[in-house]
Amino acid sequence: MSDSIAHEEAARWLLRLGDAPDDAAIFEAFEDWRDASPEHRQAFEDVQESWALFGDQAAAPELLVLRRDALGRAGGAGKRPGLDRRGVAAGLAALAAGPLAIYGWRQLHPDARQTLRTAVGEQRTVTLSDGSRVSLDANTLVKIAYSPALRLAEVVEGRAHFEVAKDKARPMKVRAGTRTVTALGTAFTVEHEGARVIVTLVEGRVAVTEAAPVRGAAPPPKELAPQQQLVFAADATPPLMHEAVDVERAMAWREGKLVFDDESLADAVARVNNYSRVKIVVEDAPARALKISGIFNAGDTPAFVEAVQSYFPVDVSADGSTVEIRSRT
**pLDDT tens by residue, 84-101:** 444 444 444 455 444 444
Identify the CA nearest to 159 among candidates 117, 202, 192: 192
Domain end position, chosen among 84, 106, 128: 106
Q: What is the dihedral of CA 18, 24, 30, 36, to 10 degrees?
A: 160
Identify the CA nearest to 7 among candidates 110, 108, 99, 94: 94
- 225 and 115 inside one domain: yes
- 282 and 310 inside one domain: yes
**Digit-coded pLDDT (tens) for 148-204:** 777 888 898 999 999 999 888 888 889 888 788 888 779 999 999 877 889 999 999
CATH number at residue 303: 3.55.50.30
Domain end position, chosen among 224, 247, 270: 247
- 95 and 127 inside one domain: no
pLDDT at 123 over 80: yes
CATH number at residue 223: 2.60.120.1440
Q: Can you give the pLDDT at residue 138? A: 95
Residue that wins the pLDDT comparison between 117 and 99: 117
Domain end position, chosen among 247, 273, 297: 247
**Domain extent at residue 268:** 256-327
- 192 and 273 inside one domain: no
Question: Residue range 210-227: average pLDDT?
Answer: 74
- 221 and 261 inside one domain: no
Q: How many CA atoms lie within 13 A of 243 on its CB side?
A: 0
- 97 and 183 inside one domain: no
- 98 and 153 inside one domain: no
pLDDT at 295 over 90: yes
- 77 and 7 inside one domain: yes
Q: Can you give the pLDDT at residue 74? A: 47
Q: Can you give the pLDDT at residue 23? A: 74
Q: How many CA atoms lie within 13 A of 151 on its CB side?
A: 21
Q: Can you give the pLDDT at residue 2? A: 61
Instruction: Tell me how many domains the chain contains.
Output: 3
- 61 and 118 inside one domain: no
d(CA 45, CA 215): 13
Residues 6+ apart with CB under 8 A from 77: 83, 85, 88
pLDDT at 125 over 80: yes
* CA 180, chain centre distance (Å): 8
Q: Can you give the pLDDT at residue 112? A: 63
Q: Can you give the pLDDT at residue 314? A: 92
- 124 and 208 inside one domain: yes
d(CA 191, CA 266): 16
Q: Can you give the pLDDT at residue 163? A: 95
- 221 and 268 inside one domain: no
**Digit-coded pLDDT (tens) for 48-97:** 656 555 555 555 544 555 455 555 544 444 444 433 444 444 444 455 44
Q: Angle at CA 246, nearest 5°, toward 244 and 247? A: 110
- 204 and 132 inside one domain: yes
